[in-house]
Amino acid sequence: MAFPFFQVPYLGNGMTIALNAVLHVFLSHGIAIGLIALIVHAEWRGWRTGNAEWERYARTMIVPAVVIITAVGAVTGAGIWFIVSALAPRGLGSMLRLFFWPWFIEWMVFTLEVIVILFYYYTWKSWTGSRKGWHVLLGALYTPLGILSAVLITGILGFMLTSDGWPWSGSFWQAFLNPTFAPQLLLRIAICFGIGSLVALLFIAFGRWSASFRREAGRFHAAVLLTSLLGGLLAAFWYFGAVPRTFGVFAVFSVLTSHLIEYETLFWAINGVAVLVIAIAALAARGRRRWTLRIAAPLALLFMLSLVTEFERVREFIRGPYLMPGYMYANEVLLAEVPLMQQRSAVQGSWWYQASPAVGTVDEQGAHLFAQNCGVCHTIGGLNDITDRLKGRSRDGIYVLAGYTSRMVPFMAPFGGTDAERRIMADYLYRLTAGETEVVAPSRFLPTIGEDTR
């Protein structure tokens, strides 16, 4: 193949990307866009009304917000890039070529965002009095820049599920302005203000404020939260209506997986409870009793973050078997390459296999074929362990199933390799599952080779 393989041990590649990406979503959406906008609003309110508590409230939040978004938010955002570079280089490289200009423009927007937020932060104490209005304006510049970033990135993310007519036309605009672009953008904006308002409510619940300020600020943030919740639900409904049904039918499975698929009713119930708890937090924010908000706000935030995680999981999973629908499978093999690889040897066609110091054993070939075809989703001995999946299957059964993956399991890619190679891989996986061979280096899929181990 075009690149060597690496798989994060135990976690696997998908989970590694997900852990970083979901953290980034929390921070970029909730803190960078949502909370910063609410901080600017608080500062503006304090300035217009002369209420020092609003100013103090804003000041209390800005310091941790800026530290977190510059140290963790920005790094996890670049981190998605870093991680995918190592784990899906061909896919990322292809996406970069297709969407170079949105990403390049987004870089410029991101740079402006950082400059604005740093100026906003460092001039807080000095831009006072007659310059306070300018300071508020400076802060107000940040949110539209953040939303512009979201616009650019959402087009790219939407393409990965709904590539629309691009595979046939090659049209950039069809790729970017795809069917899930608009609903996903609205959903993400709702997420921004949903998380942001809940974090702001935490500061209200656990900070030292007068009763009147708590009520006033609580009412405002409750309104923001409820609007976000309603907007988010409508946007989610629109979004899933725009997702092709061939993908959408596996949405529930993507969350429950084989382990919990029998509990679909419970799944819907928990989602319902999550929405209810968030609504209750909004009501608690309007109430007089601080203890209700102290209980409801953290719970609601936890449920909100869970819903966001669930959405990202569904979005990423249901696009399977594709990474770029109509062009590239999730295992970075192109759709048009599969018939070619089924005619010609996939192993012999791999520069990296030929360049490796492999002695050409059947195990090495099997491991290479597994890595190329299946390693994107399946680990050996970790999450989505292939030996668990194949337990109980016969050797010939694995051979047959590998030839019909995409028919049997619609979110799995077809096998790319000759029949003989499929048999080699099946034999290797059978012996791996039976414990008759071991993997010496699970990151690079190196099996035991006779007496030589690496």
Partner 1 sequence: MTRLHDLLLAPPLGDGVLQVLLFVTFVMHFLFVLLLLGTAILAVVFELRDALLRRSEDDISTRRIARSFLVHKSVAVVLGVAPLLLIQVGFTVPFFSAVVLFAPWWLSLVLLMIVAFLAFDFPEHMEGVRRGAKLALWTVSLAVLLVIPGVFVLILTTAEHAGAWPEILRLGIQLPPELGLHWVLRYLHVLGAAIVFGAAFHAIRTPAQEARQKAVLVRWAYGGLLAQIVIGVLLYAWLPRDPEAAANVAVALGVTAAVALLGYTFLRRAAGGFPRPRTVITLLALLLVSMLAGRQFLQNQGFLPLLGDLREARQERLDALAPHRAEALAAYGDDLAMVHDTGQRIYKRACAFCHNVVGRGDGPAAADLEIPPEAVGFARMSPAYLQKVLHEGIPGTGMPYFSYYDEAKRRRLLEYMDRTMHIFGPVPAGEPVAPEVQAQAEEVWMQTCSSCHGTDGRGAELSRRYEPPPPDFTQFVPLPDRAEEVIAGGYRGTMMFAYEDLAPDVRHALARKVVAFREGEVAPEGDVAPAQRRDRVR
Contact call for residues 304 and 288 (beta carbons, < 8 A) = no
Enumerate the H helices of 33-99 as residue ranges: 36-49, 52-68, 74-87, 89-98
Q: Which of 336, 318, 376, 333 is nearest to 158 (CA)?
A: 318
- Asked if 403 touches partner 1 (CB under 8 A), the answer is yes
**Number of residues in contact with partner 1 under rule CB under 8 A:** 96
Asked whether 112 and 53 are in contact (CB, 8 A), the reply is no
- The answer to whether residue 340 forms part of the interface with partner 1 (CB under 8 A) is yes
Q: Could you give the CA distance from residue 65 to residue 202 in angstroms, rounded to a whole number?
A: 13
- According to CB under 8 A, which one of 169, 171, 212, 443 is a site residue for partner 1? 443
Residues numbered 112 to 151 that lie near partner 1 (CB under 8 A) are 113-115, 118, 122
Indicate the residue among 187 and 324 with the shorter CB distance to partner 1. Answer: 324
User: Interface with partner 1 by CB under 8 A: which range of 58-66, 268-276, 303-311, 363-371?
Assistant: 58-66
Distances (CA, A) of 52 to 11, 43, 205: 49, 9, 18
Q: Closer CB to partner 1, residue 64 or residue 360?
A: 64
From the list 51-59, 344-352, 368-376, 429-437, the region that binds partner 1 by CB under 8 A is 344-352
Instruction: Mark the segment that binds partner 1 (CB under 8 A) among 32-40, 44-52, 78-86, 130-138.
Output: 78-86
CA 97/CA 403 separation, integer angstroms: 32
Residues of this chain, 149-178, that bind partner 1 according to CB under 8 A: 167-168
Give the H/E segment covering residue 322: strand 322-324
Q: For residue 379, give the 3-state DSSP assignment.
A: strand
The nearer residue to partner 1, 173 or 291, going by C-beta atoms, is: 173
How far lies 83's CA from each of 49, 88, 375, in Å?
47, 8, 16
Q: 253-292: which residues touch partner 1 (CB under 8 A)?
A: 253, 256, 258, 261-262, 264
**Rounded to the nearest whole angstrom, what is the least distance from the CB of residue 319 to partner 1 in the complex?**
12
Q: Nearer Cβ to partner 1, position 259 or 289?
A: 259
| Range 409-438, binding partner 1 (CB under 8 A) | 409-411
Comparing CB distances to partner 1, the nearer of 81 and 237 is 81
Subset of residues 301 to 330 that bind partner 1, contact rule: CB under 8 A? 325-326
- CA 76, 319, 313, 202 torsion-angle sign: positive
Task: Name residues contacting partner 1, limited to 345-364 (CB under 8 A).
Answer: 348-351, 354-357
399 binds partner 1 (CB under 8 A): yes
16 binds partner 1 (CB under 8 A): yes
Per rule CB under 8 A, is residue 15 in the interface with partner 1?
A: no
193 interacts with partner 1 by CB under 8 A: no
If binding is defined by CB under 8 A, does position 206 make contact with partner 1?
A: no
148 or 256: whose CB is closer to partner 1?
256
* Residue 389: partners with Cβ closer than 8 Å, 6 or more residues away: 378
Rg (CA), the chain: 25
Q: Give the integer Cα–Cα distance in Å for 194 and 226.
A: 8
Residues 11/382, Cβ–Cβ less than 8 Å: yes
Assess 398 for contact with partner 1 (CB under 8 A). Answer: yes
Using CB under 8 A, pick the residue from 48, 131, 288, 454 that binds partner 1.
Answer: 454
Q: Which of 48, 52, 64, 173 binds partner 1 (CB under 8 A)?
A: 64
Whole-angstrom Cα distance, residue 218 to residue 201? 7
Element (H, E) at 441: strand 439-441
The answer to whether 92 contacts partner 1 (rule: CB under 8 A) is: yes
Of the residues 98, 190, 236, 386, which one makes contact with partner 1 according to CB under 8 A:
98
Binding residue (CB under 8 A) for partner 1 from 52, 63, 230, 269 = 63
Q: 288, exposed or middle or buried, with CB in 10 Å at 0-12, 13-18, 19+?
A: exposed
Tell which one of 15, 72, 140, 277 touches partner 1 (CB under 8 A).
72
Q: How far apart are CB 444 and partner 1 at their closest, in Å?
A: 8
Out of 48, 49, 104, 230, which residue is the one contacting partner 1 (CB under 8 A)? Answer: 104
CA-angle at 67, arms to 142 and 32, nearest 5°: 30
Identified binder of partner 1 from the candidate list 15, 60, 96, 310, rule CB under 8 A: 96
Q: Which two tokens stand for residue 430?
A: 């059978």
- Dihedral of CA 422/427/432/433: which sign? positive
Burial of 163 (0-12, 13-18, 19+ CB in 10 A): buried
- Least Å from the CB of residue 297 to partner 1: 22
Task: Rule CB under 8 A: say whether 71 interacts with partner 1.
Answer: yes
Assign residue 164 a region: left if phi > 0, alpha if psi is -120 to 50, beta otherwise?
left
Stretch that binds partner 1, among 35-43, 73-81, 283-291, 307-315 (CB under 8 A): 73-81
Candidate residues 49, 210, 212, 246; the one interacting with partner 1 per rule CB under 8 A:
246
Determine, following the binding rule CB under 8 A, whether residue 211 of this chain makes contact with partner 1: no
297 within 8 A of 205, measured Cβ to Cβ: yes
Rounded-to-integer distance, Cα 215 and Cα 227, Å: 18
